[in-house]
Amino acid sequence: MHFGFSEEQLAIQTAARRFAADRLAPGYAERDKASVLDRDLMREMGTLGLIAPELEESDDSDKVSYVTTGLIIEAIAASDFNMAYVSLLASLNGQILAEHAAPDLKDEWLARVCSGEALLALALTEPRGGSDAGSLELGMVRDGAHYILNGEKTSISCADQADAAVVFARTGTREQGAAGVSAILVPLSLPGITSTHFDDIGERSVGRGSIFFDNVRVPQENLLGSEGSGFTQVMRGFDYSRALIGLQCLGLASACLEETWAYARERQAFGKPLTAFQGVSHRLAELDTQVSAARLLCYQTLWLKDQGLPHTAEAAMCKWWAPRLAFDTVHACLLVHGHAGYSRELPFEQRLRDVLGLQIGDGTAEIMKTVIARQRVGRKAVPM
Ligand SMILES: Cc1cc2nc3c(=O)[nH]c(=O)nc-3n(C[C@H](O)[C@H](O)[C@H](O)COP(=O)(O)OP(=O)(O)OC[C@H]3O[C@@H](n4cnc5c(N)ncnc54)[C@H](O)[C@@H]3O)c2cc1C
């Protein structure tokens, strides 16, 4: 077994941490108020190679690993949870494009995404529900050299900021279920598209909203893979994003723990540092233990992906555990800071609001546990 990172990985991690601390941390709260991601910072991230570097064309020997991308997202999220979405959405959508888009489409959009010029959304959820994604209804009908889209996607991260979206729509019949779902890349500037912005409690600079499609004509070349293969593509993509989301949440949790250990050592009560009270230090020690263990699980999952080995169960474990653990960690750290932790002067309240969303986004804990159970005993033994 080998638990170390390579020299190159440590160098990228250091660069990401420095950029995040110097350039992202100062504006974390401001962007929450403005409710928008910063495009200039996105471009800086792109220039530094911090957006989906694993997607860049290179020889196999030079290829950036999935583990490395995890290190970047973890480092960025420690300073700005929301700007880490830029890398997350790029890796999730970019992988779908890299594997399934026509060459011209792939070259154009991957270059723009990795340089921080363009933001891609993933549009799967519909008003009737997100957990049962395979039964989605948004219509997609072939008309000559185009597909025509009609319907609504909802709860989409970056709905009103993204330049394009990977949209999942029904090309088959309802009876076909997931086998009738296709994926297509839709530039969001096309006629017939409108979007909204929800008034969320957290992740406000990322934002969620609905995207409405009213007879939107999309060139047939934008189809990703073949008709009917859309659902399988997104599920494979989720096996990747779930481990990255785990590290995004744990990056934030680790930052809280680091700050709180330091605070508790300095802060005095009853003539002693707070760490002298086991009610404080043992709670932090427990959370530190669990965060360390969850972090290993996330990196193991990405390592399995790097080796081309199955990792569906591990990815689902990352996704249900890390967001909840991170929320509990922020909560405990806020309380150790006493009344000061409850103020907007410190970042804990924003972190609490921000990290909560990922207990729902990308699939809830209940759905993740069903995925794990099905991996262990088969779908028939775990019917929905
Ligand atoms: C912050 C955030 C970001 C998001 N970003 C995106 C995005 O970019 N793109 C996108 O397409 N979607 C996005 N979503 C939507 C998200 O994927 C869905 O909200 C999620 O899949 C759950 O769907 P739902 O909200 O419709 O809940 P429902 O499916 O209605 O479920 C409601 C509740 O019932 C439970 N439940 C449902 N079925 C079962 C079952 N079989 N067994 C046990 N419990 C069950 C669920 O766990 C949940 O607690 C985002 C959501 C959030 C909060």
* Over residues 230-258, mean pLDDT: 93
pLDDT tops 80 at residue 58:
no
Bridge partners of 120?
164
Is the pLDDT at 123 greater than 80? The verdict is yes
CA-364 nearest atom, ligand 1: 47
Q: Ligand 1, from 32, 37, 82, 131: best to mutate by most atoms within 8 Å of Cβ?
A: 131
Q: How many helices (H) and strands (E) does the chain have?
A: 12, 10
Q: Quick check: 355 and 325 in contact, CB under 8 A?
A: no
Which residues, at least 6 apart from 283, have a Cβ–Cβ distance to it below 8 Å?
332, 336
Mean of pLDDT values over 175-179:
93
Q: Ligand 1 centroid to 116 CA: how many Å?
A: 28
What are the tens digits of pLDDT across the range 59-81? 667 899 999 999 999 999 999 99
Segment 319-327 shows an average pLDDT of 98
Residue closest by Cα to atom 30 of ligand 1:
129
pLDDT at 206: 98
Q: Which of 32, 125, 245 to mutate to test the pocket of ligand 1 (most atoms within 8 A of CB)?
A: 125
pTM attached to this predicted model:
0.97
The closest-lying atom of ligand 1 relative to the alpha carbon of residue 158 is 8
CA of 214 to the centre of ligand 1 (A): 24
Interval between CA 363 and ligand 1 midpoint (Å): 5
The Å distance, Cα 128 to ligand 1 centre, comes to: 10
CA-proximal residue: ligand 1, atom 24 (nearest): 130
DSSP 3-state percent helix, strand, coil across the chain (nearest 5): 60, 15, 25
Single out the residue of 325, 353, 321, 347 nearest to residue 334, CA to CA: 347
Distance 81 CA to ligand 1 centre (A): 20
Which pLDDT value is given to residue 251?
98
CB 242 within 8 A of CB 294: no
Q: What is the pLDDT of residues 288-299, one digit of tens each?
A: 999 999 999 999
The ligand 1 atom at the shortest distance from the C-alpha of residue 129 is 26
Q: For residue 232, what pLDDT is reported?
A: 85
Q: With 90 as the cut, is the pLDDT of residue 35 above it?
A: yes
Nearest CA owner, ligand 1 atom 45: 366
d(CA 88, CA 251): 13
- Percent of the chain scored above 90 by pLDDT? 94
Q: 17 in helix, strand or coil?
A: helix
- Pocket lined around ligand 1, Cβ cut-off 6 Å: 121-125, 129-131, 155-157, 203, 208, 357, 360-364, 366-367, 384
Task: Give the residue whose CA is nearest to atom 1 of ligand 1.
Answer: 357
Q: Could you tell me which residue, 284 or 2, shows the higher pLDDT?
A: 284
